[in-house]
Amino acid sequence: MKTQIHDLRKVRMWYEVKELSSNPGNSDSKIAKKLGVDRRTVSRYKKMSEEEFHEFSMKQRVYELVLSPYYPDVLSLLSIDNGLPAAVIEDRLKEKYADLPKVNSKTVYNFVQHVRRQEKIPVPEKIRQTEALEEFAYGSQAQVDFGTAQMRRLDGSRRRVYFFALVLSRSRYKYVFFQTTPFTGKTAVQAHEQAFKYIEGIPGKLLYDQDSVFLKSENLGDYLLADDFRRYRDERGISVEFCRKADPQSKGRVENVVGYVKNNFLRARTFHDIDRLNEEVLSWLERKANGTKHATTKRLPHDVWLIEKEHLSFFRPSPAIPRDEIPTYTVRKDNTISYKGNFYRVPYGTYNGKGPEVLLKVKDGTLSLSNRQGILLAEHPVSLEKGKVRGDTQV
């Protein structure tokens, strides 16, 4: 029934476009505003004969039926964020359904617009992002930045996350890493190590802004590197350069990546635990950020990276590099923490109404939970299943 209503609406719209366009004073933009549709739709309908329009309408109906099983998923995502772009919705459907029908992005866009019309969900005004054009030699530069965002938990509460982003300036090949605490010199170094492992090499120069994670002070134009980062720079022999904060001319590529992570990957995403979030972002990088055509280069970052990685310096992980701090996990109302799809109990009463954090370590198949003072709270065998609750209620 919904499909039939939609077809009738499109038929009426086609006739209205034809009638309004017969007046020379009505531009495509004016007609689009009057009918509440996209200007490109008006332009397309104007060019169609009645026979062409009916053929087009039949084709759209088939597409709509292909995606109709995903109507509830699209509606659920739009209910969380009514401004969610169709590109983000398409990526979430691919993430959730390995057997999603292979339709092009325009088909998904049309179906999302169909759901919007049926549910009367308005489209917020978009802000277009731009990027300064400058070509770099392969392997010559990568840009690094940090971001932070609030995420929604399953229980409706909020969780702040912090992320590190690196992008190769030529290929636009990206890496992103999350943690639940602000980055320090040591954790930033660890993020660099993971990034170099991911991109399979070290670029000729790394560009940063004047972040306190890397700099202690500035003296007459001379930057004083923070101790952890200075030692790391010397050990790795990397070349670093700093620019002013929020400088799109110098560091626009990675600032666009930070915005991309917030507006595409994180938008309307639920926080479960930090390990799962990092697993999800790696899948997103492969599937979306590095696996779809870049808006500026018109090429897949992954394909260009296959060329660029041959121009990166050799990378070998070093045991001398400072390791990451012990990760923290938030205690839930039922006195459990969520870890890799399972729930592990802490002593009754640990939850204090504010969601305290505990330290988590896994060694030899045993998961240990301690408070911030290092006092052991509980130990459990690591579950290889999913959705299980481990531990006694009186732990």
Task: Provide the sign of the torsion angle of the four alpha carbons 14, 16, 21, 27, taken in this order.
Answer: negative
Query: Residue 241: beta bridge partners?
Result: 207
pLDDT recorded at residue 197? 94
Task: Look up residue 278 and give its two tokens.
Answer: 């990092």
Specify the domain boundaries for CATH 3.30.420.10 within the chain. 142-311
Count of residues making up the chain: 395
Lowest mean pLDDT among 6-15, 171-180, 230-239: 6-15
Could you name the CATH architecture of 142-311? 2-Layer Sandwich (3.30)
For residue 374, what are the CA distances in angstroms to 59, 119, 242, 347? 63, 52, 38, 15
Per DSSP bridges, beta strands 336-339 and 240-243 are: unpaired
Q: Are 134 and 107 in contact (CB under 8 A)?
A: no
**Whether residue 116 has pLDDT greater than 60:** yes
Phi first, then psi, for residue 17 (nearest 5°) are -60, -45
Lowest mean pLDDT among 103-112, 121-130, 194-203, 358-367: 121-130
In the predicted model, what is the mean pLDDT of the chain? 82
> What are the start-end ranges of the H helices in the chain?
2-21, 28-35, 39-47, 50-67, 71-80, 86-96, 105-119, 185-199, 227-236, 248-260, 274-284, 301-308
**Whether residue 354 has pLDDT greater than 60:** yes
What region does 338 belong to: left with phi over 0, alpha with psi -120 to 50, or beta? beta
pLDDT recorded at residue 49? 82
Q: How far apart are CA 39 and CA 28, in angstroms?
A: 6
Q: How far apart are CA 220 and CA 83, in angstroms?
A: 46
**Virtual CA dihedral for 85, 90, 96, 102, nearest 10 degrees?**
170
Look at 306 and 333; give whichever has higher pLDDT. 306
pLDDT recorded at residue 219? 47
Per DSSP bridges, beta strands 342-345 and 174-179 are: unpaired
Long-range CB contacts for residues 14-19, cutoff 8 Å, separation at least 24: 14/45, 14/48, 14/50, 14/53, 17/42, 17/45, 17/46, 18/45, 18/46
Question: Could you report the per-residue pLDDT of 243-292, keeping only the tens digit for each?
Answer: 765 555 556 677 888 999 999 999 989 999 898 999 999 999 999 999 99
